Amino acid sequence: MSEKFMVKRDGFPSKGEIVIGTVTRVLDFGAFVSLDEYENKEGMVHISEVASGWVKDIRDYVKKGQKVVCKVLNVDRKRGHIDLSIKDVTERQRKEKLQQWKSEMRAFKWLEIAGESVGMSKEELVKIGKKLIKTYDSIYNAFEEAAYEGYEVLVPITGEELAKAIAEIARENIKPPKVKVRGYFELTCFKPDGIERIKKALMAGMNVKDGAEVKIEYVGAPRYRVIVESEDYKTAESVLKKVVDKVVKTMKSLGGEAKFVREAV
């Protein structure tokens, strides 16, 4: 079975950095961890840094081959020593790091596919990958940039052919995050068919699209919440303004009153 394609960072991690690694050896006084993101770098977790409280047997907490998220306590570049802590990593930091690493592993595969599609050797691809990490901090971030901004941003690093291949894969796999803007209407109409008139005004707002998704929810008389979801704030704000104008004008033309209050997201 061929080894997974990966691009590792040169140099040492920084003090305070959250890193991911694989336990290679477990001894009575501590565990040695190979740093997955760094080229030929290994750190050590002293038994006192494995878990909070007294640890009788380190093997109750870590095992060879286990994937661990650690905080870098100290780096001695001259001696090549990296001191790590498992207990100093919060649950949130651990989950975020594992998710980042999962995304990065996917990006390695995408880069490999892009490289193969343009006939690039693994060695050349690794060199370019290291440059992408230096500029964007991760291969996944580079793919995100290509997905959102277009292949041109990568050309100075990758060349045009590979940049286009990366952008194509990025667009297929990375969807821009959605943004939401919201507020609520206070709508009143004292006509006999007032409820129907309010519904008509709200429907007029629902029919506004322009590249965004519009939702209107009943909160409790006389309030109706409106949520506009889009890929960018500029579009969302523009559509929200159109929805508000449409609902307010329609409600007033139908003999009712309308007020809009903006909500913080």
Domains of the chain, earliest start first? 18-87 (2.40.50.140), 92-173 (1.10.150.190), 179-263 (3.30.70.1130)
Q: 208-232, pLDDT tens digit by residue?
A: 877 788 999 988 889 999 999 988 8
C-alpha dihedral, 31 to 32 to 36 to 41, nearest 10°:
150
pLDDT on residue 2: 54
Give yes or no for residue 1 having a pLDDT over 60. Answer: no
Tell me the average pLDDT across 140-145: 95
Q: Name the nearest CA neighbour of 4 among 22, 23, 25.
A: 22
Beta-carbon contacts of 240 under 8 Å, excluding residues fewer than 6 positions away, are 181, 183, 226, 228
Indicate the range of 28-32, 47-51, 52-56 predicted with least confidence: 52-56
Structural element, H or E, at residue 69: strand 67-76
| 179 phi, psi to nearest 5 deg | -115, 150
Q: 65-99, pLDDT tens digit by residue?
A: 999 999 999 999 999 999 999 999 999 999 999 99
Tell me the average pLDDT across 23-42: 96
pTM over 0.85: no
Indicate the range of 20-24, 59-63, 121-125, 171-175 predicted with least confidence: 171-175
